[in-house]
Amino acid sequence: MDVLGERAPQIKDHLVGWDGFGDVAFIGQMAMVLLIAVALSFVIAYHPSVRRKATTLEEFEQPKTFIMYSIVGAVIALIVKVQPSMALVVFGIGGLLRFRTNVGQAKDTGRVILVTVIGLCCGLELYVVAVLSTVCGWLLIFALEIRTVGRLLIQGLDREIIAKAAASHAELLRGCGCTILSEERNLEKGIVAFVYRAPREITRALLEERFAALPHEEQGAVGWDGNKRV
């Protein structure tokens, strides 16, 4: 039963403002919408056929963006369902963010749009939507970022020992609790690249300190976040 749809004409009298928190059916419907959006977007974002082909940092981080945008779409749909006139407002805000705001990576854009529509909910006094969206977004970001993905470049390695150096670095990463998602080697350039997933507490400084303990001939110049193929 679509609780929100049936009550849309009366929402200004009943659900706008803090009184909405007294309507358990509305809160349940809202929570279900957000959870289903996350679940279905997760199925698409982490499709195994796509994940197997991922090699760059950007490709491994893409699913986080898809899931965040799914939440954004669900919240916008709820706003427009309650206040149809807001469709043009949301469209205008989206254009402003897309063409006039530099917010960095795509997943950062998702967070910016999410907080924008949450602010829009507050302006419309849809506090139930705003609060539940904030809670869902916070939990989602925490879950997605509990393990960070990074790309490590080891450069300047001698061709004769590049395989041994790659194995040593890979073993060290695994010893720190990291999961290696992909590995590339370029014998001509003496480069090894790893895309890895690390626990939150594992920092670049810690990894560089561990790399410095490797035999000197297996060490190379360490670089991070290179997104091009080696």
Residues 104 and 165 placed together within one structural domain of the fold: no
Residue 62 and residue 95: Cα distance in Å, rounded?
Answer: 22
Residue 212 and residue 226: Cα distance in Å, rounded?
Answer: 20
Q: What is the dihedral of CA 13, 17, 19, 24, to 10 degrees?
A: 100
Domain that holds residue 167: 147-224
Residues 137 and 190 placed together within one structural domain of the fold: no
Residue 115 and residue 42: Cα distance in Å, rounded?
Answer: 21
User: Of 92, 123, 144, which residue constitutes the final position of a domain?
Assistant: 144
Per the structure, the count of domains in the chain is 2
Residues 139 and 167 placed together within one structural domain of the fold: no
Residues 62 and 169 placed together within one structural domain of the fold: no
Residue 121 is predicted with a pLDDT of 83
Q: Which amino acid is at 144?
A: L
Angle, helix 127-144 to helix 57-82, in steps of 10 degrees? 170
The per-residue pLDDT string of the chain (230 residues; one tens digit each, 9 = 90 and over) reads 444 455 444 444 455 677 778 778 878 888 888 889 989 888 888 888 777 767 677 777 788 888 888 888 888 887 777 777 777 767 666 665 555 555 456 666 778 788 888 888 887 778 888 888 899 889 888 888 787 888 888 888 888 888 888 899 999 999 988 999 888 888 888 889 898 988 888 888 888 888 888 888 888 888 886 555 55
Token pair for residue 173?
A: 């990463």
Token pair for residue 84?
A: 């149809």
Residue 15 lies in a domain: yes
CA distances from 157 to 169, 185, 193, 216, 229 (A): 12, 11, 12, 11, 17
Residues 103 and 191 placed together within one structural domain of the fold: no
User: How many degrees, rounded to 5, is the angle at CA 133 between CA 32 and CA 117?
Assistant: 125
Quote the pTM value: 0.65
Residues 66 and 172 placed together within one structural domain of the fold: no
Residue 100 is predicted with a pLDDT of 52
Q: Indicate the DSSP class of residue 214.
A: S
Residues 35 and 118 placed together within one structural domain of the fold: yes
Residues 157 and 182 placed together within one structural domain of the fold: yes
Instruction: Give backbone dihedrals phi and psi of 181, rounded to 5 degrees, phi first.
Output: -90, -35
192 near 184, Cβ under 8 Å? Answer: yes
123 near 86, Cβ under 8 Å? Answer: no
Residue 171 is predicted with a pLDDT of 92
Is 51 exposed, middle or buried (CB count within 10 Å of its CB: 0-12, 13-18, 19+)? middle
How many helices (H) and strands (E) are present in the chain, helices listed first? 10, 4
User: Of 92, 122, 144, which residue constitutes the final position of a domain?
Assistant: 144
Residue 114 is predicted with a pLDDT of 85
User: Of 126, 144, 162, which residue constitutes the final position of a domain?
Assistant: 144
**CATH number reported for the structural domain that contains residue 193 in this entry:** 3.30.2130.10
Residue 104 is predicted with a pLDDT of 53
The single residue listed with the structure tokens 């395989």 is: 163
